[in-house]
Chain A
Amino acid sequence: MSEETPATPAPRTASHLEVKATMLLIALLLLVTGAGLYLAYARGAFERTQQLVLIAEDSEGVGVGMDMTFAGFPIGRVTRIELAPDGNARILVDVPVKDAHWLRQSSVFAIQRGVVGNTNIRAYTGILTDPPLEDGAVRTVLRGDATAEIPRLMAEARQVLQNLSAMTASDSALNASLANVQGFTEKLQGPGGAVGALMGGDSEAKKLAAVLDRSNSLLARLDGLVAKADAQVFGNDGLMRDARTTVTSLNAMLLDARASLQKVDEVLKEAKAVGENARAATTDLGALRADVETSLRNVDGLINELNRKWPFKRETELKLP
C-alpha cells in the first residue's frame, strides 16, 4: 500500500451539500413511500370489496392472489384458501364492489386448468338481470380440467390401437380376407377365369361351358322349329287363312241368327198379348164360378128342403155291419 494520504475532496460549502443531500433523501423517501402506496393500491388495499366463498373438491393450482376473471377481465382476487370440515376446499375471493354487479344469483364459477399455464377461476353470468350476488355468498365451483381428459383419451387411443393391431395381425380376419381376395384374383387370372372363380373349380366351369354349348344347339333347333311353325300358320295354305274364312262364315251366321231372334221377339210379343187376354178371361171366370157356386148352393138347399118334406124320407143314420 502506498503511504500517501488519499486526497480528500475539496471542502465545499456545507449548506450547499446539505441541501443536495436532503434532496436525495427526500427523493428516496418519496420513491419508497410511492412504491409502498402503489403496491398497496395494486393489491387492492384501498378498494371496498365483498366476499365470495367458492367450494371446490380440489384446490390444486389455486393460489392466494390469483385472479377470478369474468369474460377475461379480472374482477376478483383469491385472498385465502382453507380446508372445510367436510373435506372440501373453501376459496375466499374478494370482489371489488364496483365489479360485483357482474356476479348474479345465477352465476356459475369454474376452475379451469390448462395443459400449459396456470389455473384460472372463471365466472359466468348468463342472465345479467338476475338479483345481484350477496356479500359472503357460498357457491360450489365446477372443475374443468383439460389434463383430466388425457387419461381417458389415452385409454381410448390404446383401445383403438389394440383393435388396429388385432385387425392387422397375421392370423386376423382382415388378413385372411385379403388372402382370400388374393386367391380369388389368382383364380380370375387362371384358365377358368371369372367363371371358374365363381363356380369354385375348373370342372364346374367346364360343365357350365358344356351347358352353354347345348343351349346354343337347342336355340338353333328352336329357330328351325319357329320357321316351320311360321309357314304352317302364316303360309299360303296356313292356318290363318282358314281361320279368316271361318270368321267370315261365322259373321254371316250371326246375321241370320240376329234375324231369327227378331222373329222370336215378335212371337213373344204375341204370346204376351194372348197371356193378357187369358188373364182377363180368368177374372171373368172367377165371377162366373161365384154365380155357379151360388146357384148350386141354392139347388142344394132346395133338394134338402124336398128331402125333408118328401115322405120318402131316407134314414140318414148309418149303421155299421
Chain B
Amino acid sequence: MRVGESIIPSMATLHDITEGLSDIGRDSLRTSLDWTTSWWHVIYAGALVLVLAMSPSTYQRSARASLARQLYLGTAPLLPWFALLAALFSVVIIRIVVVTAVSYGLTQYALEMMIRVLVLELIPLSAALFVALRATLPSGAELTAMHRSGVFHEQERSGADPLRHELLPRVVAGMFAVQLLVAVSCLITMVLAYIAVYGFTLAAFGGFTRTLGQIFNPAVALIFALKTLFFGMAVALVPVAAFLRGPQSASAPGSRASPELDGLIRLFAAILVIEAVSLVGNYY
C-alpha cells in the first residue's frame, strides 16, 4: 500500500503539472506569435515606406526638409569615421593577405582574395552594422519614445503626418547611409589594395581592372548590389518596425527584453540570413 501510495500522485500535483505544461505552451505560443508579428511589422513598415516614397505628396516642401535633415544627419557624421575605420581595417587585412600570399608564392591571387574578402563581404557587413548601431537603432528607439510620449498624436492633431515626417525620412536615411558608406569604403579599400599590391604606380591599372572584371562577373555584381540593398533595408526597417507595435509594446507583460534589444537581435538575424544567402549565391 505504501508503494502504491508513492506511485499514484495526488490530484493537486497533477493539476500543478497540467498548469505548468499549459504555461509552457502558452509562453512558446506567445513567443512565436510575437516573433511572427514583429516580422510582419517589418514587412508592413517596408510596404508603408515604399508607398510613401512613391507618393508625390511625400516630396512637398515640409516633408522634403525633414527627409533632407534625416538624410544628412544620418549619414554625414558616420561617413568620416567609418571611412577611417574601414581604411585601417582594410590595411590590416590587406597586409596579412599580401604577406601570406608572398610567403606561399601565390601573389597573383592576393588581389582577388582581398577584393573578394573585403569589398564583397566584410565592408558591406561592417557598414550595415555600423549604421545600425550608430544611426538606425537609436533612431528607432527615438521613434518609439516619441510615440509613447504622445508626440505623434500632437502632430496628427496639428495636421502633420508622423509617418511622412518621422518614419519615412528615418528609413530612407538608414538605407542611404548603408549604400553611401559601402560605396565610399569599397573605393578606399580598392585604392589601398592597389597600392599594397602594385605600389604607387599607374602602370598596373590595366591588370587591376582586368582582375576586377574577372571577379565582378554579372552574377557576383548583381548579388553584391542586392546584398547591399537588402542590408540597407534590414538596417533601416527592423529598428523602426517596433514603433508600429504601439506604445504599449515596451511595457508588455512577460517581455523580458527591451524593444531596442529585441530589434537588435532581429536585425542581426536578418543580416545573417542575407549574408548567408549571398554567400550561397556567390560560391555555390
For A259, the chain B residues whose CB sits under 8 A away are none
Cα–Cα distance between A266 and B135 once the two chains are bound (Å): 161
B59-80 with Cβ < 8 A to chain A:
61, 64-65, 67-69, 71-73, 75-76
Q: Which of under 10, 10 to 19, 20 to 34, or 35 or more describes the interface residues of A?
A: 35 or more
Cα–Cα distance between A14 and B217 once the two chains are bound (Å): 42
What is the interface of chain B mostly: helix, strand, loop, or mixed? helix
Q: Which of B71, B106, B146, B186 contacts A25 (CB 8 A)?
A: B71
Count of residues in B whose CB is under 8 Å from the partner chain = 39
A1-25 with Cβ < 8 A to chain B:
1-6, 9, 12, 14, 17-18, 20-22, 24-25
Which residue of A has the minimal Cβ distance to B64?
A18
Cα–Cα distance between A64 and B215 once the two chains are bound (Å): 11
Is A178 part of the contact surface with B, judged by Cβ < 8 Å?
no
B73 touches A24 (CB 8 A): no
For A74, the chain B residues whose CB sits under 8 A away are 207, 210
For B217, the chain A residues whose CB sits under 8 A away are 43, 64-65
The 0/1 profile, CB within 8 Å of B marked 1, for residues 18-35 of chain A is: 101110110110011001
Is A42 part of the contact surface with B, judged by Cβ < 8 Å?
yes
A65 touches B214 (CB 8 A): yes
A42 touches B210 (CB 8 A): yes
B180 touches A28 (CB 8 A): yes
B149 touches A3 (CB 8 A): yes
Is A234 part of the contact surface with B, judged by Cβ < 8 Å?
no
B142 touches A6 (CB 8 A): yes
Is B270 part of the contact surface with A, judged by Cβ < 8 Å?
no
For B141, the chain A residues whose CB sits under 8 A away are 6
Q: Which of B65, B207, B214 contacts A14 (CB 8 A)?
A: B65
Cα–Cα distance between A214 and B271 once the two chains are bound (Å): 113
For B210, the chain A residues whose CB sits under 8 A away are 42, 67, 74
Is B151 part of the contact surface with A, judged by Cβ < 8 Å?
yes
Which residue of A has the minimal Cβ distance to B179?
A28
Cα–Cα distance between A117 and B75 once the two chains are bound (Å): 42
Is B133 part of the contact surface with A, judged by Cβ < 8 Å?
no
The 0/1 profile, CB within 8 Å of B marked 1, for residues 25-67 of chain A is: 1011001100100110111100000000000000000001111
The 0/1 profile, CB within 8 Å of A marked 1, for residues 140-165 of chain B is: 01100110110100000000000000
For the complex of A and B, 9 pairs with smallest distance between CB atoms: A42-B213, A14-B65, A21-B68, A31-B183, A18-B68, A21-B71, A43-B213, A6-B142, A21-B72
What are 21 A-B pairs at a CB distance below 8 A? A3-B148, A9-B69, A14-B61, A14-B65, A14-B68, A17-B65, A18-B65, A20-B68, A21-B68, A21-B69, A21-B72, A24-B75, A25-B71, A28-B180, A31-B180, A32-B179, A42-B212, A67-B210, A116-B106, A117-B108, A117-B109
